[in-house]
Amino acid sequence: MKFLTVIQNTDERKQAVFEHEDFHYLYSYSKIDDASVNETMVFSCDENGEVLDYTELYTGYCYVPSDEVMKKIAENKKAEANNEV
């Protein structure tokens, strides 16, 4: 898993683009107290971070560091490639 760029990095929103085996992923953390939102998600995206499909590849409650999340994504992709899922 290779880190490409940060899109946003505030206490309320963290977004970054990663690449793994020619696929791009948007890591996204959002915290909006007024809307009771506090979640970490990953979506498929292009190299610029534009989401291609809003199917959640990962969802976690509260903040989960990008290194932990993206490691799980890479492990899941490896398992899928080996037909272990």
Mean pLDDT of 3-7: 97
84: confidence class by pLDDT, cuts 50, 70, 90: low
Name the residue with higher pLDDT: 35 or 12.
12
Prediction pTM value: 0.89
User: Tell me: the pLDDT tens digits for 49-59?
Assistant: 999 999 999 99
56, amino acid identity:
E
Burial letters 8-46, b for 16+ CB under 10 A, else e: eeeeeebbbbbeeeeebbbbbbbbeeeeeeebbbbbebe
The pLDDT value recorded for residue 33 is 83
